[in-house]
Structures are given as structure tokens and as C-alpha cells.
Amino acid sequence: MKRTVFARTAAGSLAACLALGLAGCGAKTESTASSQTAESAPATTETATAETADPYAYLSDFDYSSIFDENGYVAGVTATDYVTVPADLKLTLSEEANTVAAEDVDTYINDNILASFEETVEVTDRAAATGDTVNIDYAGSIDGVAFDGGTAQGYDLTLGSGRFIDGFEDQIVGHTPGETFDVVVTFPDPYENNPDLAGKEAVFTTTLNSIQETQLPELTDAWVQENLNQELGLTSVDTLKSYVEGILLFDQQSNEIYSQLNEQLTVAEELPESLVKYFEDYYLLTPFLYSQMSGATLDDFVAASGFENAAAYLESIHGYVESAAHQTLIIQALAETYGIVCDTDTMNSEFMGQFGTNDTSSYTAQYGETYLKMSILNNLVMQHLIEVANA
């Protein structure tokens, strides 16, 4: 089952890549100094009416809870009809799965908690280096004559990104904020952004305004009390570390249990059609929403990333859809076997532990109550299996 857990993440990443792909295809730089050239998305009548013409427009009404019942089960499906749970199911947990390293706790806190509160600050007391994001003004000229698109103020540029023509970013490295200097470059030939500039040498009078850095807040008891007490009930660094250790421990144990379930349980080849369709729509939803933001149909949107159409994209993630359906059926089959349900009272009592708040309203509004029950049911089943493995 490790593969199934990974599958959801990978499919989500693929959808994000599709979004970035189309964004690249539609991006237009404001400056001639930029080396990126791209074709904008077609502005046609068909695009303007994409929502009505798109056969996937029904996804705008996707309901996360549509397929689940009041106990968090797939409605109308008996999972043990599809999943064989052996009577002698043997689960164990290694010492490694039952132990969380202190450095893993610290890394999680930095990357997932403190990073959410990071601030961007302007640095003016050191030289710029490759990888820095800098803020610059520049004015370009050829033989002393300014040209269209060669001037900008307050432009944020990451040095080493390759966003500007060759040599531009390298010549900023080593300068300090407040300096004004000339950046001398030669436009490539050909130069699609502006063929008139192709092969010509240009001078950009550049002022380095600042270097931008992101800083994490200092982790103190006072910071935890101020920022994490209301939602999570945490009062100190120690309580935060204990909370994170619990999250990581559960993840480690769950991954090891999933691997054993995958080895010992068998799932029928033919899956419930309603469940497969649900996860197909689930994985199409993100690229569909991005397509709507860009004014394209889903078919056109995925075509910009190299797929023939949405059906071809869906075929490419078939393994992820199947894995998600397998995981759902396996968890429900185990819930049926052990008599575990997530009714409304259980959801309310377990909600804080899973979502970090007692207020269910915003989650229910976005996902629906039965989807939340399904999510909590997954945890309840896994908690039971962990207890069995460690008994």
C-alpha cells in the first residue's frame, strides 16, 4: 500500500505540472531582456465559451462527498465482496517504524510549520550571489539609444534562473544594494521576442535595489503560544515537538502496515464502476479548474502539456486511479471486518486530532460531511491495525 499512498501525491503533482505547463505556454514577459519566449493561449470564440463547450464542464460541480455514506463507507458497496482479508492476517511493526528521530521532528517543524510563517526581508549589507532573488531597475540601450521593452523598475529576478538573456544575471552577482552599474550583453540570433534586436550588443544601466531573503520565525514557547495555541492547543516548543512526533510516528507505522496489507490482501480485478468514476473525476478536477482559470477546455489544457486530449491524460494516470480505489476498498473491507464506523458523533470526537481544530464548518462546506468521515475512518482503521501489530 505504500504505492497507493504515493500514487495520490504523484497524480496531484502531475496535475500541478500540467498547470505550470500551460502557464508557461501563455506567459508573456514584460521585458525584452527576458530570454523566455512562449506562445499565448489562443483567444478564440471557442475559448471564450469553453465552459459551455467543454464536455468535462460537469466537474465544476464535483462533490467530494457524493460517493460516501453516513459511516464513511462507499455507499452501496460491500468492500469485502472485492477484497479478501485473510483470517490469519499477520501485522508487525519494526523498531524503526516505532521510533521517530529528533532531527526528523525538527525538519518537519521547519519545513511544514515555521515555513508557513516565513517573512520576506530586504537585505542591503552584502553582495548578491547566484540563487538570490534581487530587486533591480534597468534601462537598456543600443548605441546609446533606448529601445522598446528594455526598461523596468522594481523588477524581481532570481539570479541563475536563466530568465534573462545569457550573461545578464551573472553580471549582477557580486554587486551590493545601492550600486548602479552597466550590464553588457548580446542578444541571441535569432531572437524571437524582437527580431530587430537579434545579434546586437546592448548596455543595461542597472541599479541593484535590494536582495530579498526569506526568514523563519524563531521557535520559542511564546511563539508557539501565540500562533498554535488557539487551533492546536499547543503551549510550548516541547508540546509542539510531541505533537509533530505523533504525526511522524503514525505516518511511519502506517506506511509499514500498508506494505504488509498490500502483500497479504487481494483485490478483485473488476472494481465498482462508481468508485473508479469517482477517482477519475477526482484526479481530473485540478487540471480542469486550472483550465477554467485560463479560459480553455480541459482537452486544450492538457494538449498544451503534450497529451492528445483529456482521455489520454486520464489513461496516463490510470494506475493512480486504480491504486486510490484499491486503498479505499481495502480500508473499508478492514473496517467492515473489525466493525469500525465513523458516524457523526465519532467524526466530531476525532476531528480535532486529525484536522487540528474543533470547528468542522469550513471543512464540511468544502468537502462535505461524509468525505470527512471517510478520511477519519481511514485513521481509525489504521490506529486499530497499529495497536494489533504492537500487541
pLDDT in tens, the chain (391 residues): 222 332 333 344 344 334 333 333 333 334 445 543 223 333 333 444 444 578 999 999 999 999 999 999 999 999 999 999 999 999 999 999 999 999 999 999 999 999 999 998 998 889 999 999 999 999 999 999 999 889 999 999 999 999 999 999 999 999 999 999 999 999 999 998 889 999 999 999 999 999 998 899 999 999 999 999 988 889 999 999 999 999 999 999 999 999 999 999 999 999 999 999 999 999 999 999 999 999 999 999 999 999 999 999 999 999 999 999 999 999 999 999 999 999 999 999 998 888 877 788 999 999 999 999 999 999 999 999 999 999 9
Read off the amino acid at residue 143: D
Dihedral, 7, 13, 15, 19 alpha carbons, nearest 10: 180
pLDDT (0 to 100) of residue 295: 92
**Grid coordinates representing 354?**
486529525
Contact 5, 327 (CB under 8 A): yes
**Grid coordinates representing 254?**
502506517
pTM: 0.70
Read off the amino acid at residue 42: P
Alpha helix locations (H) across the chain? 2-26, 45-48, 50-53, 102-108, 221-232, 237-264, 273-294, 298-303, 310-316, 318-338, 344-355, 361-367, 369-390
Contact 162, 35 (CB under 8 A): yes
pLDDT (0 to 100) of residue 8: 33
Domains of the chain: 2-89+265-390 (no CATH), 121-215 (3.10.50.40)
Task: Report the distance separating Cα 180 and Cα 142, nearest Å.
Answer: 18
pLDDT (0 to 100) of residue 27: 32
Instruction: Report strand pairing: 145-158 vs 133-142.
Output: antiparallel
pLDDT (0 to 100) of residue 357: 78
Task: Report the distance separating Cα 242 and Cα 181, nearest Å.
Answer: 52
138 beta partners: 152, 206
Contact 311, 58 (CB under 8 A): no
